[in-house]
Amino acid sequence: TGIVGLLGVLALGAQRRGLRALELDDATATALGFRVERVRIGVLATAVVLAAVAVSAAGPIGFVALVAPQLARRIGGVGPLSLWAAAAVGAALVSAADLLGQYAVPGVDLPVGVVTGIVGAPYLVWLLARGTRTRPGGLT
């Protein structure tokens, strides 16, 4: 799986210019000569393959994809969210959940998905409740 991860990083790196153009908007990316739909399909295919490989190796790890970008934004502050920052936070979360699953209860190895669910679900509920109160049109 390490080789597949490395190949995934290389595949996303090869699509870097197209991703940067899509950050602007579709019209600007098209004006710069990028085929917007082709870039999106390539990035989506790469993401699906990487997710499939990760799930096949580690099992379903819930809430990481929802929580990691939010934590990365809180750590990094205001500004565009970096894909690399979210990936690093997600990797740290999965590693911490794996350690907790192995050593939190002596003699019992909890699956990573169980630990991420136990930790991630309350945090996600808190984020949703907090976001509803602070956004326009939400509860006050």
pLDDT digits (tens, 9 = 90+) for 71-89: 888 887 666 667 788 888 8
- pTM for this entry: 0.54
Domain containing residue 46: 1-58
Tell me which of 33, 58, 83 is where a domain ends: 58
Distance CA 107, CA 88 (A): 30
Q: Are residues 45 and 77 in the same domain?
A: no
Residues 10-26: b if buried by 16+ CB within 10 A, e if exposed:
ebbeebeebbebbeeee
pLDDT at 92: 92
69 and 107 belong to one structural domain: yes
